Amino acid sequence: MSKSRQPLLAGNWKMNLNHLEAIALVQKIAFALPEKYFDKVEVAVIPPFTDLRSVQTLIDGDKLLLRHGAQDVSQHDSGAYTGDVSAPMLAKLGCDYVVVGHSERREHHGETDELINRKVRAVLKHEMSPILCVGEGSDVREAGDHVSYCTNQLIEGLKGLKQEQVRRAVIAYEPVWAIGTGKVATAEDAQEVCGALRAALTEKYGAEIAEEVRVLYGGSVKSSNIADLVGRDDVDGALVGGASLNGDEFAKMSALAAGGPLP
């Protein structure tokens, strides 16, 4: 089946770059990627919270076609939650996307599927799109349980949502063993799980919704493997970590995700 979904390339900067460095990187990406590519691929940067206002001001001021988002969010809208950042605050900063349930949050902050589900709801309530991350560790992969493990994270993360809300969500399959390790899953591995996630969405929410939801792959994606990944039926782009910190490389990956040619 040919894909009607527009690919999304989202650069998760993780805890890198201050707001001045963020401005420089966004300018570099915008300069390296001519406007014509944005008809074919959606490109987003996901900087740390402290960079968001600067990135928003630059994108709005220079009318850039890049989108931006945040790496995490509180499940609460406001209140006595020291250090947290709420969905209404992120919406006011012009965020289109919020990453939820990244494996680094699950691992280092003990985030559970239940908490992640509450965060997904908070993002949707304020009309942004969650990028819900799922993915197995090497032990699960070796046991051959990766499909059921990831499908379960997906169903728990979306629990209680209405069909119309699911339509807005983006799913990112990120096998933990492939993140920042240089060990990229093969395009077949990515397709296997991304296809299974879409099948689970079809079963739960119907084919029409499942065909609209974008399912990304993440884990050591770079310009040498992006084209093969997005060439698969159920892989609709990538959540990129390390390689998104290099403006030229990220622009090149965006062009390849758009189907080329290189800028």
Ligand X SMILES: O=C[C@H](O)COP(=O)(O)O
Residue stretches of the annotated binding site:
12-14, 180, 220, 241-242
Q: Annotated binding site for substrate: which residue ranges?
A: 12-14, 180, 220, 241-242
Residue partners of 86: CB distance under 8 A and separation at least 6: 73, 74, 76, 77, 78, 122
Q: Which of 47, 69, 242, 247 binds ligand X (CB under 6 A)?
A: 242
* In the complex, minimum distance from the CB of residue 78 to ligand X, in angstroms, rounded to a whole number: 28
171-210: contacts with ligand X (CB under 6 A):
174, 179-180
Structure tokens at 78: 């406001």
Q: What are phi and psi of 131, to 5 degrees?
A: -105, 95
Q: In whole angstroms, what is the distance from residue 188 CA to residue 94 CA?
A: 36
Q: Which of 102, 111, 126, 146 is catalytic?
A: 102
Q: In whole angstroms, what is the distance from residue 249 CA to residue 194 CA?
A: 25
* In the complex, minimum distance from the CB of residue 69 to ligand X, in angstroms, rounded to a whole number: 12
Residues in contact with ligand X, counted by CB under 6 A, come to a total of 14
User: In this complex, which beta carbon is closest to ligand X, that of residue 124 or of residue 179?
Assistant: 179
Verify binding: residue 218, ligand X, rule CB under 6 A: yes
In the residue annotation, 104 being an active-site residue is answered as no
User: In this complex, which beta carbon is closest to ligand X, that of residue 104 or of residue 205?
Assistant: 104
With residue 232 as reference, give the H or E element that holds it. Answer: none
In the residue annotation, 102 being an active-site residue is answered as yes
Structure tokens at 191: 């397709």
Distances (CA, A) of 109 to 48, 146, 167: 16, 22, 28
User: Which residues are known to be catalytic?
Assistant: 102, 174
| Contacts to ligand X by CB under 6 A | 12, 102, 174, 179-180, 218-221, 239-243
